Structure 1
Amino acid sequence: MRDGEALHLEPKSMEVLAYLVAHAGEVVSREELHGRVWPDVYVGDDSLTGAIIKIRRSLADDARNPGYVETIPKRGYRLIAPVRQIGPSVTDESRPAPAGVMPRSFRRAGFASLVVLAFVIATAFLLARNPSNNEAARHAQSQDRVVIAVAPFVNVSRDADYDYLAHGIADSILTDLARATDLAVRHYDPERTSGASPAPDYLLEGSVLRSGDTIRVDSRLVEIESGRVLYSLRFDRPFNDLLTIEDEIRDNVLEKLKHGINAAEHSREARGYTDNVAAYDLFLRAQRALLIRTRQTNLAARTLYRHAIAADPNFARAYGGLALTYAAEYRNGWANDPQGALANALRFAGTAIGIAPDLPEQHWVVGYVKTQQRQYDDARAALKTAINLDPAFADAYALSGGIETYRGNPVETVPLLREALRLNPEAGYLYFLLLARAYYFLGDFEQARINLDEAISRNPENVEAHLYLAATLLKLDQADDAAWETEEVNNIEPGFTLESWSASYPMARGRQLDLLLADLRRAGFS
């Protein structure tokens, strides 16, 4: 309450305020606040910044001359207003909050009552939070498993064209390690793991140098808590030994961590790969091209996948990649025969599953295609199979979350996307777009904008992200910025029309889609 007026803060902002009140007078780091308010997930630094802005706005505070929340550069935040405890402590700590910390500029009467009331209300939010509501997240997290993070390998070649090779080797090793029963494996990015839980026990990192027909691969396994290097290996081999190098790195990691995988899991065939180095190299090039997500790179990836299959007709993962190119062609409106593109996607995914039934990625492809056909139940069943095969398969959680929004249940999307980001903090733009989409339909337009900014910074040419940003900006009464986003879409895709875009959009027909289209028409789309 302020001057008899009830002020409202969203739950996350209230949780931040509650934690600062409980630690009044202390400097609380951004990392600590992330871990407390957004446990087990990565939501970007902008989320915390946005929460602080909302707190200051409600308190009529001035960041330059604060009376309540002070920013400590490079350290965090501190509540500098006086705090008085009334009755027993309602925090999770037995000690009372420190008192008598005076602000540099305190002119507002009755602030102690405001803070105490805010603290009590916010604590209710803290106690009401129940992360175990997400069944998928419970399934993915196993506290008794060793956690190893795999960092993207660094391309130290002078030729940037070999970036695909460095990333591909790391991804392949990560996929191999994920099959070890007692090992939890995740991507590693030190800039995006604030508050991650459980924290990784070990880090695998390395570098790749390609020179003509030879390759040098360095790898090392580090115990994160102590910083001790458990092993360091260097391979100077002919390029044709690449697959053997990957296997040796994996086996050394498992040996050091006292884990083993059975003989079937050692087989590259069982993992859907190939023993043909030329086919494997083509596959890695295709994977890299597919991630760029333009019409030209999608066609380039398709050609590379086909060449890989020609080199090894039993290369299951190459069939799965080929399926994805057809699914992307349909989704982005690039196909002359949209239904034919979807049929091809299902056909090639089915071929991949027929060769290697235990590949979670191929069941994900089936789920993706069924989503585009608005067959949500079939899509969810395929994704459930993918998660059963690999409980840490981040893309399956992300797509499951996307489906919930398509079905009209955006509230179910948020925990699934947060789990996906926890499992893969190196995720691209799509995770943030899916999260933003859910926030838009939930009416949390500030969070929608934060996540859309993240998505567009990673993929500036994605039309859907610009569409949702235009609609979101309108909701935030920023019509000029929304009009600018309309121009961006027309520049990216000349001749864009809502009618053609919405025809293939896999959202259920009804109120939710009508709301989006109405906002987009107000933004200037036709």
Structure 2
Amino acid sequence: MAPREGSGAYHFDAFCLDPARGALLGPDGAELRLRPKPFALLQHLLDNPGRLLGRDELMETLWPGVVVTDDSLTQCISDLRRAFGDRAAHVLRTIPKRGYVLTAEVRQDAAPRPDIRRKAVPGAEPEQDIVAQRQALVAVHRFEAPDGNQAAILLADTLVTDMMAFFARLEGLRILPARDGMAAEGYRVRGEVRAAGTDLRVTLRLEDAASEAVLWAERLDRPRDEPRGLPEPALLALAAHLEQQVERHSLSLARRKPVAERSARELCLVGREHHQRGTEADTLVAKEMFALAIAADPDYATAYAWQAYTVHRSITHGWGSPGGQAARDESLRLARKAVQLQPDSPLCLSRLAFSLVLHQQWEGAVDAARAALSSAVPAFASARNTCCEVLAAAGHPEEAVVVAQETISLDPLCPPTTQGILGRALLMSGKVENALSPLRWCASRLPDYAATYDSLLVAAVESGRVAEALAARREFSRIKPGWVPRNHTGYWFFRRDEDVERFVAAYRRASELAGAADKQSMTSSAASPQAEQDQVPTPPKPAAPPPPPEGARSLADLRRDTLVMHPLQAAPDDASAARTASTLTLGLMAELVRYEDLCVVGEAYNRASQDYALRGDAYVSGDRVHAVLRLEEVATGAAFWAQRLDWPLAQPGGLPAESAALLATAVNLQVGRRSLRRARQKPMEQLTARELTLLGREVYNRSTPADTRASRDLFVRAAAVDPGYAPARAWHVFAISRPTVQGWPDGEDGEGLHEAVRLARLAVELEPDSPLGLAALSLCLALREQWGEAVASARLALRTDQVADDAVRMTGGSILAAAGFPEEAEVGLRQMIAWDPHCPPVVHAVLGRALLLRGQPEEALAELRLCAARLPDYELCLRTMVVAAIEAGDIEEARKALREVARLRPGWVNGTDPIFWFMRKLEDRDRHQQAFEMAVRLEATARAGGLLDACTSTS
């Protein structure tokens, strides 16, 4: 397409640069793709035709005030020459050691006069600005097919078309096709498709346009013989992840702004975050945020929908005002306003559905809920959860179960309330046993969410679990003292009389059981004063998480190491190497972005950094491709790590995905170790929260009581430096929990464990998809013997989009093995050792324990010896070694390990501490205890000169 008249386009040689469109047109009029920096470089050359432009001048023009290397400019020149093709020598000339000259003749069309403006309706521009602020801008770039495969090229073109069409249906995003030269705002979606054996591998990533940091990446494999494009479920899952990641990043930016400077969308994001915490204080903060959003943008439907939700809570939870009928009327007014402004919005329709439930307009409520779920706009967790509640309350619990299960399948990291809603729907559909697991999961994550305990009480009574029913009743009474069970107030909104009668009967039965338990308790107290001391204390109410500090940009930037990913270089005349370099660069970036400690950015990253850069070269030699990668410190330019690798040139898809994952693991490990080394050289008062956590983790991994206490102090200091830094909270949990797990004398089952649970929940709240936070939570749940929820959390930690690090895999392996899944634990731990042969020695102890629980004592001994050689004071390893040696028939090694246990724990009597073995199955505990007793008896016999001593413990 030719440039329009008056566009200010440049005509040179056989090319045309159209600044208005941000496009370079080739001799045939086709658009030639250029990245923003090469585009800006070309425009500067065209403004100065025939003049020698030095490298310093060009670098200052392209990267003003930013320190970059010559390689960045060289790459831009290479991009231009590649775009010009055979005409490059006629357009651009290099003057060695001096600079560059644009040698082609340049003609420029007349530029539009700046004083001519289209006459606008008064007030139109501000209104357009407000509308634009309601959605995040996402530019979708054309996908690349680096290896030139025709099937990959076809799929790449189809994918962009399909994604544009599907993503355009998202409420919170404004989707545009990307053009080179676009302004650096919003977000970008980029991707590539390449052959991988019999499949086509799709890799896509989401970038922040301003910083070019990669926020999220996904990889999919598609069989070549399947229909073009992705099926709708896959597109829906991608859309859910895309919107979630954009909103998380937008929320992070919004938190750093003063309230007065936030847009209506940003106010809603902050308000929604508070609302989803499920506490009264947070709900009132959310209500204020939504009110400000409505004032800032009176036509913003999302703000009205969320405000209707906060008004609902004045009825369902008794929080805020107005209450009663006034609240019902206000919520219906807000919901109707939202639907009027955006009739096809699932969020708005779901809010209308629940408002109609509050007015007992059941048919209208069900119709609105089904309309929300069938809208052309995709419905995600918030809307789907409300629709589930409406359908279950209106007498359609089976339908609600399907919707809730689809929600969890779509996003395994959806809010914990989804599990609670699923549990109630299962309960109301008659599947009592199935309801217990999701209800327990929700209660473990939201201990102050009364609706979950309400349903858990009924499920426990109906399944005959008296102790669990009484515990649920106590928790519900703690949160809602004096609440009277009745319909259409508080937590019951049932259409069917039989549902009301069923819940009332369960409450009546729970009250009878509680009365009987109180009488028995009073009798026991009169008989035994000690009984009062044996009662389990009620867990204290977790404190609300501290609000993130305003203006915390510097803190957020210091939470991760920045890694600048430079494209691998290849000889200009080596097409195979160039294609390989491009494929490896993109594949490696897709892997690296999954590490929560790394902020991965492209080479055009335009801020000075004190962190790291990854560079490399690729070349072809014979029938093999060779690549050399190196890590450098940006501040000094010093290389501190390098890796060589090679693979067959004919191998489909280039470097296998498994090898790319291993390479990314190595890069992440080296960056972490370099950051730790840098932290050791700084004064304590200058350390960032991340650096304090790195130091604390190093000390913690020494696995002694003194080192564990020291690490705890470092994690506390890190949280004080940056209260919003989730890893500091998670590592603090591990340090608090270790004495209990190890059976150390200073282990705490009471207040210390309650504090660990609070910190774990806070870590998950700060970073919901962080494997580290989820692993810390799983450990706390296991220590409280909530094994089902602990296993679910551990598995979730191991399968999030982010890569699980050593601590996560060790914790997950420990939990799975102790909970009765040692085979599953072994697989993860062996993979961890394969990825990092220099992993902490504790990993071998955890693997040894899993092997022992699998019934493989000899294999277990081999792993346990590796740990004991490196950590001679790690008592848990030595205790496990005693059992493994007995079962393997190695009496001498069992006695030796027992003596080491006695050295570390003099006077300990086997079995006096029930948490000591930390196992779910009674048969596993008995097996370990019997083997340990056998070792004690054998040691006593040996000390007695071969005579069997009756003593069964060491002293």
Tell me the TM-score normalised to structure 1 length.
0.49
Question: Could you state the TM-score of these two structures normalised by the residue count of structure 2?
Answer: 0.28
Q: Which has the larger radius of gyration?
A: 2
Tell which has more relative contact order, 1 or 2 (C-alpha 8 A, sep 6+): 1
